[in-house]
Structures are given as structure tokens and as C-alpha cells.
């Protein structure tokens, strides 16, 4: 079975989102004190602020970042600096809370912010804030999550939670989710289990035959990194494994081992020597 690592040292959580999605209010609710300046006008937080808290024996450092604006909306050195600090906060984080405003339509800038977490290879939780402002029925959350994942399919692995920083609704779930996705991003898989899952995947759906008429195959597989999860496969012909097939193998790994909330990367290298197994 995969080995789930304990979080260990204090985990850094970066809170990112557009201006005025309620990041500071969310941080305040988590900290149970007014450490952040909260204002109704967009862009109140211009710098990143670190705050420590403890949850069920685990230490966290919570970073409230400046709202991420579109480049053409950045005016002046101070705002540019705040965006740079926000990006750096994500780079230094173990977990990212990607915060959206549930009361307004999902935007292209929301998608760019989601891409920042994904491209940084960070474990992520999608947080829809201002849930108290949404007129809803039993399907509203399902439809909103579906719509979001259609816009940002690359973040499909992240758990989604609907909260209200104002009322506190479901905010208490966030530290537990951070621990969950952090544990998944640090999970270790034995080589033999990894290779078995991948070989069964190739048997179920064979890789495309190469131009030379050969069916590519996986000879060895090993986990070469955690945080993010990286698996290195030694294969007969690396170029034969197209992007769609690599995504298929990643789906098979997720079905077998979870990695809920954690990005997964595959690195392929060609096997030297003969083609035979």
C-alpha cells in the first residue's frame, strides 16, 4: 500500500484569488482574530502577510496574498510588487487555497489564477467564498463545481468547498482539507505496485503503434519525487507516448493511489538497447 507521510514541519498555505474575493476575511475567520485589514474596496491587501496557527496538533503558516490582477490592471510599482510577492508566496507554499467568489460569474482571470497553482505543482484546494450571497437549490453547488472544472479542467484533482467567511459556514473544514491534500502530495508508492498499475493500464488500453510498427512498452517505473508527485518511466520509445495517453496513465494512477488534491507528473525516458522485453 502507498505510504502516507506525516506533514512534519509547519505547512505553508498560500491564499490566492482576485481582489475582493474575501481572502483576508477568510484568513481572519481561520485565525479567529482580526489580524488582516478587511475592506470592501478591491486591493486592500498589497503585501503578503504570514500568520501561524495550530490545528489538531499540526502547525500551519497562513499567507494572505495581495489580490492577483490582470497585467493591464496593474498600475504603479506598489501593485506590481504585490503581484510578485503573491506569486512568490505560491512558490514557497506547500498548499494553495484557490479562492473564487461564488456570487459572481467565473472569469478568465479566475482561470489564470487556478493555472498559477497548477503550474507551480502545489497541492490545492478550491474555495468558493461568499456562499451566503448565492441563491441556491440542491444542485447549485454541483453545477458550479462542474462549470468551474469545465473552465479549468487541469485542476480537476482539487477538492472543492463552498464557504462563507462572513458567517463561518464550512470554514472549519479548510485546515483538514489542507492536511489531506498535503498528505496526498507526500504519499510514497512502492515501485512494484507502481509498475503493476501502469502495466495493467497498458494492457487495458495499448499505446499507439509507432511508425516502425512497434508497440511501445514500459520497462521500469519509479517515484522520483514527492511534492509534487513525479514518476519516471523507462520506456521503449518515449516519443510514442502522446499527451493523451500520458493523461490516461495519470488517471489510472489516481484511480489506484488517490493523490486527491495533488498534481501528478510523468517523465518518460527511452530505454537504451534492444526493443525486446
Q: Which fold has domain 11-185?
A: Rossmann fold (3.40.50)
C-alpha closest to that of 207 among 155, 259, 127, 268: 268
Other CB atoms within a 10 A radius of the CB of residue 190 amount to: 13
pLDDT, position 85: 61
pLDDT, position 71: 52
Q: In this structure, what C-alpha cell is assigned to residue 91? A: 512558490
What are all long-range contacts of 225-229, with beta carbons under 8 Å and residues at least 24 apart? 226/5, 226/185, 226/186, 226/187, 226/188, 227/94, 227/121, 227/123, 227/185, 227/186, 228/121, 228/122, 228/185, 228/262, 228/263, 228/264, 228/265, 229/185, 229/187, 229/259, 229/262, 229/263, 229/264, 229/265
What CA–CA distance (Å, rounded) separates 187 from 5? 6
Report residue 107: phi and psi, to 5°: -120, 170
What CA–CA distance (Å, rounded) separates 112 from 18? 10
Instruction: Report domain extents, the chain.
Output: 11-185, 191-270
pLDDT, position 209: 83
Paired residues of 99 in beta bridges:
127
Other CB atoms within a 10 A radius of the CB of residue 152 amount to: 20
Per-residue b or e along 16-26, where b marks 16 or more CB atoms closer than 10 Å to that residue's CB: bbbbbbbbbbb
| Strands 11-16 vs 58-64: parallel, antiparallel or unpaired | parallel
Dmax (CA) of the chain? 66
Other CB atoms within a 10 A radius of the CB of residue 199 amount to: 14
C-alpha closest to that of 165 among 16, 12, 18, 27: 27
For the 191-270 domain, the top CATH level (class) is alpha beta
pLDDT tens for the chain, 277 residues long, are 554 444 457 889 999 888 888 988 898 888 875 554 444 434 444 444 578 888 888 888 887 554 444 455 544 443 444 456 667 778 889 999 999 999 999 988 889 888 888 989 999 999 999 999 999 898 999 999 999 999 999 999 999 999 999 999 999 999 999 999 999 999 999 999 999 999 999 999 998 887 777 888 999 999 999 999 999 999 988 888 889 999 999 999 999 999 999 999 999 998 765 444 4
pLDDT, position 157: 95
Amino acid at each position: 500500500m502507498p505510504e502516507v507521510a506525516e506533514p512534519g514541519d509547519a505547512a505553508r498555505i498560500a491564499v490566492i484569488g482576485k481582489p475582493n474575493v474575501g481572502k483576508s476575511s477568510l484568513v481572519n475567520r481561520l485565525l479567529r482574530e482580526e489580524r488582516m485589514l478587511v475592506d470592501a474596496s478591491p486591493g486592500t491587501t498589497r503585501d503578503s502577510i504570514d500568520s501561524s496557527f495550530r490545528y489538531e496538533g499540526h502547525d500551519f503558516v497562513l499567507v494572505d496574498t495581495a489580490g492577483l490582477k490582470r497585467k493591464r490592471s496593474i498600475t504603479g510599482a506598489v501593485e506590481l510588487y504585490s503581484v510578485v510577492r503573491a506569486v512568490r508566496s505560491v512558490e514557497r507554499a506547500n498548499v494553495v487555497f484557490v479562492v473564487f467568489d461564488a456570487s459572481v460569474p467565473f472569469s478568465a482571470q479566475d482561470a489564470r489564477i487556478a493555472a498559477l497553482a497548477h503550474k507551480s505543482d502545489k497541492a490545492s484546494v478550491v474555495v468558493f467564498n461568499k456562499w451566503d450571497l448565492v441563491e441556491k437549490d440542491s444542485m447549485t453547488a454541483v453545477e458550479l463545481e462542474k462549470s468551474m472544472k469545465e473552465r479549468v479542467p487541469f485542476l480537476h484533482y482539487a477538492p472543492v468547498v463552498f464557504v462563507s467567511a462572513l458567517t463561518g459556514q464550512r470554514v472549519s473544514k479548510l485546515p483538514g482539507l489542507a492536511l489531506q491534500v498535503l498528505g496526498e502530495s507526500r504519499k510514497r508508492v512502492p515501485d512494484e505496485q507502481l509498475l503493476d498499475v501502469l502495466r495493467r493500464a497498458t494492457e487495458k488500453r495499448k499505446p499507439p503503434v509507432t511508425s516502425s510498427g512497434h508497440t511501445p512498452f514500459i520497462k521500469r517505473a519509479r517515484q522520483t519525487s514527492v511534492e509534487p508527485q513525479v514518476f519516471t518511466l523507462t520506456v521503449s520509445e518515449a516519443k510514442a507516448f502522446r499527451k493523451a495517453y500520458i493523461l490516461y496513465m495519470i488517471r489510472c494512477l489516481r484511480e489506484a493511489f488517490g493523490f486527491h488534491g495533488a498534481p501528478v507528473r510523468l517523465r518518460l525516458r527511452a530505454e537504451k538497447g534492444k526493443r525486446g522485453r
